[in-house]
Structure 1
Amino acid sequence: MRRVMNSKLRILIFAILLLQVTYPQITDLSEEWETNMSFELADELENVVATQIATLPNTLGFIVIHKGKIVSENYYGSDLETSINIWSVTKSFISALVGQAVDMGMINDPDSTASNFFPDYGIGYLDTLTLHNILTMSSGYADQFYPTDPFTFFFDPSQWWALNSTEILLSMPYAYPGEFYYNNSACHLNAHALFYGTDMTPSEFAGEYLFPHLGIDDPVWESGYLDINDGSAMLNLTLREMVKLGQLYLQDGYSGETQILSQEWIERSTQSHVETGIDDEYGDLSDYGYLWWLIDDVGSVYTAQGLGGQIIAVFPEYDLVIGAHSDVFGDDISDHSTVLNYRILEQIAPIFDDLASNKHHVTVPRKISLEQNYPNPFNSKTKIEYSLYEMTTVEITVYDIGGKLIKSLLSEVQSAGSKVISWNGTNKFGEFVPSGTYFYRIEAGLHSQTRKMIIIK
């Protein structure tokens, strides 16, 4: 009897302890930032910011996000409403957009050759080059068309837009892919690949799938040939808007309860794919991922870097995101970037070392998964597999490329587990739909996911 009681007591104690476990709160990035200016190290942090950051003459704004809340925010000649060109931080936003398109099956995996993304140009080099090479600044292309003087470009971007057609970019002189070479012109091809794969400009695609989840409303983003936005620079954001991308990556692609970017893509983007050999202009950023800079070959800290000191720095170990806006028309902008990066890494981030009780980043559990339909393309019937991680109301719908609802395949409460459903290519009236590209979408509770499929008659 005593043994039974002891067993029950242990179970009760375990249950009480389990209820006391706290799980990381996932910030809803579509909402305004919450603040926590009175956190335990606030005085120390503000003192270091005042002596190490505010004293840099080119700094316009500096923000620190800890555990999803603003713990320090300071502006110098600007304010929280100031929206500026974030320059090459734009590249990291492009990386996220490409990742979303890959997640949804709208474009091929980056390991595919570039000829799969640009099939109409008949350029032999595209059978060797991959999108992976373009995302990692190892395309082998020369940077032939992007202006060498960024200030000339700033005042007269038309000289760049007049030259950035897809064919001209793909026809730039090349050597062989694989070696790091920082190349704005080649990087712009990521925006073109996104455009041809989704039939949407980067701005349109972001306006549908990324910006609303980050609370970003129709930002200025320069565009040119076929209205394709610059894939290397020219996205204008406030500091609060800009750092939300870093927080999204820190949260494994979740904004609140909605996952908009896969954890797989984030891990792939923030691991080292190529050594940069750069340790001066931007500090010790020795490795490169998918348009993210890394301070080492394991991605323990990854950063987005823009001309003159536009920075997003993500520290997963500390649950920390740090951002900066800087004046590109100030003095010695390269030196400013170097010093600013150094002080973020060596003066600001270490303050949070004692607060990092868990040295390993907590992974947010997935709630649903939606697989690629099979077969795809298909003629008369295809299967769609999906998994639920809890009992919830599930809706699966099919849309055409213009966003028009074609058919609701399912709307009911289902238990957790792996499922499969079929579609015979008919609309809600039982009529067969024509050949073309369609999208299927699952919504389960607060979670959703979309993929592309193709019908060929």
Structure 2
Amino acid sequence: FTDNEDMVYIPSNTSFNASSGITVSLWLYLIEDLNCNSYNNFRYLFSKGSSVIPYEGYHVIVEEDRTLTWSLGTTDGVLRYHAETPINIGEWVFLSFTYSAASSEAKIYLNGEELTGAYWTHDWPVWGGGILSTDEPLLFNYATYEPCSFGYGHLPSYMDDFSLWNKALTQEQIRQTMLHQVSVTAPNLVSYWDFEEIEDGMIPDKTNAQNHGYAYGLDYVTGAPVNGWLSFTPANGSIAAGSSARINLTADATDLDQKNYTAQMTVLSNDPKHPAVKIPITLKVTAPLGINKDALTYTLEQNYPNPVTTETIIGYHLPTNAQINLTVYNLQGQRIVTLKDGYQTAGRYRITWTGLDALNESVPNGMYFYRLVVLLPDGHQTSAIKRMIISR
């Protein structure tokens, strides 16, 4: 969502009126801060009900300091629950909001952990009971007024995997929802919207309810492609801590316009501080230049062994003579050591690295990247990058 008019609209459905309990979960990535020259610049994350105070229905707003307020209209009054922990900018987080009519208790979870919060009681001191139903649609990133007129506007963000449940899920159930793909036939699941599958402005509901949503002002929501130009194998799986796995990505530029296409690959973790790593992928389609068969056969091999304990071998293949550079980097992109820099004739090469940096000191355990850059005979440059793990 990068413009004030960007929004997603889900037509009203009676199944959204979960009177006895509710859970709303989604992935969120804030692009920038919400500051607006001292205005109370809160933004709507999602809303179903009144655009100001939900006398019926429910909504969540992101406050100017990036904290969260969860509001519901109940049979006894308006419940407003505020969590004090701010959302970080530039980081995918998993948010869940629950309410149980039986206990009249609201909760907010960040990456599967319950946040400390408090109820706002100065204007609505009484609340409880069932959630009042409403005929209003469900809206994501709904901007009630122009940005900065009174602190309203769009929420500059990416969103993904929005699920709505007619029950207050437990913390363990929320963690399972975070770490595993939601089963579209799960009990109490009302609807599940996969923003990465938006096509022709429609966001599909993956459940049998088929409560499809519609995007306005958006070509895509999460950065995922509309036309399916990217494929990868395996599509899912698990990796044990301290180990690695290879994922093959294939980009098909057939019939694509000349522009940049973006997507992302998501790696989920059971680390509550870093529950998701979403890797951006960009395909730049330019004017056709023909196929450079030599360039297609420059290869960089996965190091072996990996993880590395004492030493490892990095192999690569040059089909023609070329100027090359092979360098190891840390996760921050800082150069650790250059293993080869210079002219080489065509052939297969193997270089042994013993885990020492440019100062001949052992590098700490952790993940590293190695990159091969090749200056092709026609003046163009190609490169490949792979990762490895140091574990002594």
TM over 0.5: no
| Higher RCO (CA-CA < 8 Å; seq separation 6+) | 1
Structure number having the greater strand percentage? 2
Q: TM-score, normalization: structure 1?
A: 0.29
Structure number having the greater helix percentage? 1
Flag the structure with larger Rg. Answer: 2
